[in-house]
């Protein structure tokens, strides 16, 4: 048994405020006893099946790392393509500029030759070979099932968004209702969703040129000087303010349409790390201002492949941009994709600072993925700091396994737990990964075998480390308390038969 597993099994301490209250001691004890029984002998198919049923029925609290477009399944996108009268290209043709598996949103305007290459979603479903290939392009389906010509896993994962993206069609209410229904079936009561990036505000071409000349190696004085000029220019810009207001109104209205007594939706605004510095900072500024002014937008994130050329080159610059805004808006919460890297994906020197800079420079409250903690400079000191500051790590087991090849004892979840860094289980892009939050918990329990007390505490951490207000957290905890009372009562009755 590896040392990380030993550390995890020895880990019993949980941060204050994250442990769950005992709704009913007898029911909770019976539920824990039943859970231990089905967890024992987990190599047995029957026991793993029972564990899956148990965890599907268990209340999950919240999902704090959830990308809208990647969370919707291919089958649902195909339904929308039919509804919108779109079509899908079934072949490449350089002359007609068609690309296989791409969506065409203007099917009626195609030439006769192009129409012959563009099929409806129903036709795609009826062609089994094409449908299977489409599923492999639009999601991670069958990637490891059998051999076929494959891109690297990280490219496969991120490329999917370009295929199904046009099916969103801007009708977010439809998609959010689908997410809500799916969440409730999965016993999830709260989602913190990345739906739309902050508007990429632009200023004068001269200032954009100044911004785009900045690099991670630029000295702090020059970075702050240029950012200050931009900030002072954009803060009084009426067009920029109107754009931010429109963005806020759109997301607030969507949340109001979705929220009810059973389900709560909040948003994270985000920026895309592959953009130019001027576009990134414009989006970053609008995202931060949106959080300040909105009721439904409660945090800011940065997304995109972390190993991209621009992402790696400008990583420190991006963190310093966040620092600049964090000084002016200290109450804005940041959840940063950081450390979604492994040795070999980038050179060793690219693994040594991403999590640290997200914490120490940007001021992140949560870290998404955090896989490369093993390689961070002075990792033990950083882990201690994250523990003391209660900086949570969002662990997405299926995503980390597929994209980075991190499985079982290799996963830093074990290290974070051993060093009392709070960990929250999440989904990332459930539609692409063909997963659910229940499935993430199945992998968590099957691989790492937490006690029932630890498992239950991990669910409550999804509320404790959310970006909700204290009052809203208390509301969500009360709802979760009631759900666990009902769950444990039902398990106790079933187990006692």
Residues 242 and 287 in one domain: yes
Domain end, chosen from 122, 138, 154, is at: 138
* Domain shared by 326 and 182, yes or no: yes
Q: Which residues pair with 425 in a beta bridge?
A: 395
Residue 109 confidence class, pLDDT cut points 50, 70, 90: very high
* pLDDT in the model for residue 1: 38
The verdict on 217 and 99 lying in the same domain is: no
Share of the chain above pLDDT 70, in %: 89
Per DSSP, the three-state class of 132 is helix
Condensed to tens digits (0 to 9), the pLDDT of residues 112-163 reads 999 999 999 999 999 999 999 999 889 888 776 555 556 666 566 566 666 6
Same domain? For 106 and 66 the reply is: no
Residue 24 has pLDDT above 60, yes or no: no
- Which tokens sit at 254? 């969507």
pLDDT digits (tens, 9 = 90+) for 432-479: 889 999 999 999 999 999 999 999 999 999 999 999 999 999 999 999
Considering the domain architecture, whether residues 410 and 261 belong to the same structural domain is answered as yes
Read off the pLDDT of each residue in 233-244 and give the average, rounded to a whole number: 94
Q: Are 130 and 267 members of one domain? A: no
Q: How confident is the model at residue 240 (pLDDT cuts 50, 70, 90)?
A: very high
Say how many domains are in the chain.
Answer: 2
Degrees (nearest 5) of the Cα angle 391, 465, 411?
60
- In order of 14, 61, 177, 189, 473, the CA distances from 463 in angstroms are 14, 7, 22, 10, 6
Range of the domain at 134: 79-138
List the CATH number of the domain containing 305.
3.20.20.140
Which pLDDT value is given to residue 150? 64
Does the structure show a pLDDT above 80 at 16?
no
309 contacts 347 by C-beta, under 8 angstroms: no
Residue 40 lies in a domain: no
12 vs 131, higher pLDDT: 131
Domain assignment present for residue 11? The answer is: no
pLDDT of residue 161: 60
Among 283, 306, 207, 198, smallest CA distance to 246 is for 198
Residues 221, 110 share a domain: no
Mean pLDDT of 302-321: 96
In a domain, 161, yes or no: no
Examine the domain organization and report whether 236 and 104 are in the same domain: no
Model confidence pLDDT, tens digit, residues 55-108: 999 999 999 999 998 899 999 999 999 999 999 999 999 999 999 999 999 999
Q: How confident is the model at residue 346 (pLDDT cuts 50, 70, 90)?
A: very high
Inside any domain, residue 32 = no
Transcribe 94-127 into DSSP letters: TTTTB-TT-EES-GGGS-HHHHTTEE-HHHHHH-
Token pair 């030759």 in the structure block, residue: 113
Residue 15 has pLDDT above 50, yes or no: no
Per-residue pLDDT at 4 exceeds 50: no
- Asked if residue 240 and residue 111 are part of one domain, the reply reads no
Do residues 106 and 228 share a domain?
no
Residue at 419 is within a domain:
yes
């Amino acid at each position: 048994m590896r040392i990380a597993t030993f550390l995890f099994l020895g880990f019993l301490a949980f941060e204050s405020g994250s442990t769950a209250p005992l709704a009913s001691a007898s029911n909770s004890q019976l539920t824990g006893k039943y859970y231990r029984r089905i967890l024992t002998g987990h190599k047995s198919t029957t026991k793993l099946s029972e564990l899956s049923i148990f965890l599907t029925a268990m209340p999950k609290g919240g999902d704090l790392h959830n990308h809208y477009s990647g969370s919707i399944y291919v089958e649902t996108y195909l339904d929308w393509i039919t509804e919108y009268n779109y079509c899908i290209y079934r072949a490449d043709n350089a002359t007609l500029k068609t690309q296989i598996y791409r969506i065409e949103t203007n099917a009626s305007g195609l030439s006769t030759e192009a129409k012959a290459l563009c099929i409806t979603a129903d036709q795609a479903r009826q062609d089994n070979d094409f449908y299977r290939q489409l599923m492999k392009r639009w999601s991670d389906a069958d990637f490891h099932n059998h051999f076929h010509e494959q891109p690297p896993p990280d490219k496969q994962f991120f490329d999917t968004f370009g295929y199904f993206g046009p099916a969103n069609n801007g009708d977010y209410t439809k998609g959010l209702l689908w997410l809500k229904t799916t969440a409730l079936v999965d016993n999830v009561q709260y989602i913190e969703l990345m739906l739309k990036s902050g508007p990429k505000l632009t200023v004068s071409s001269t200032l954009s040129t100044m911004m785009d000349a900045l690099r991670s190696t630029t000295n702090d004085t020059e970075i702050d000087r240029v950012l200050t000029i931009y900030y002072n220019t954009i803060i009084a810009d009426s067009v920029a303010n109107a754009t931010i207001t429109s963005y806020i109104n759109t997301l607030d209205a969507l949340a109001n349409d979705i929220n009810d007594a059973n389900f709560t939706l909040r948003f994270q605004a985000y920026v895309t790390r592959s953009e130019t510095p001027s576009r990134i900072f414009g989006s970053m500024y609008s995202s931060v201002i949106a959080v300040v002014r909105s009721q439904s937008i409660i945090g800011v994130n940065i997304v995109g492949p972390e190993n991209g050329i621009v992402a790696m080159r400008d990583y420190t610059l991006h963190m310093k941009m966040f620092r600049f805004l964090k000084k002016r808006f200290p109450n804005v919460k940041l959840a940063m994709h950081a450390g979604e890297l492994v040795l070999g994906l980038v050179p060793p020197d690219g693994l040594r600072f991403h999590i640290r800079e997200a914490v120490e420079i940007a001021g992140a409250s949560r870290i998404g993925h955090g896989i490369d903690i093993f390689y961070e400079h002075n990792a033990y000191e950083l882990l201690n700091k994250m523990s003391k500051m209660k900086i949570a790590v969002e662990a997405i087991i299926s995503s980390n396994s597929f994209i980075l090849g991190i499985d079982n004892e290799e996963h830093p979840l074990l290290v974070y737990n051993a060093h009392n860094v709070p960990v929250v289980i999440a989904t990332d892009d459930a539609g692409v990964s063909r997963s659910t939050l229940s499935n993430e918990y199945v992998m968590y329990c099957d691989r790492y075998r937490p006690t029932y007390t630890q498992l239950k505490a991990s669910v409550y951490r999804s509320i404790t480390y959310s970006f909700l207000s204290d009052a809203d957290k208390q509301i969500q905890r009360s709802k979760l308390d009631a759900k666990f009372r009902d769950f444990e009562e039902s398990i106790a009755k079933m187990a006692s038969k």
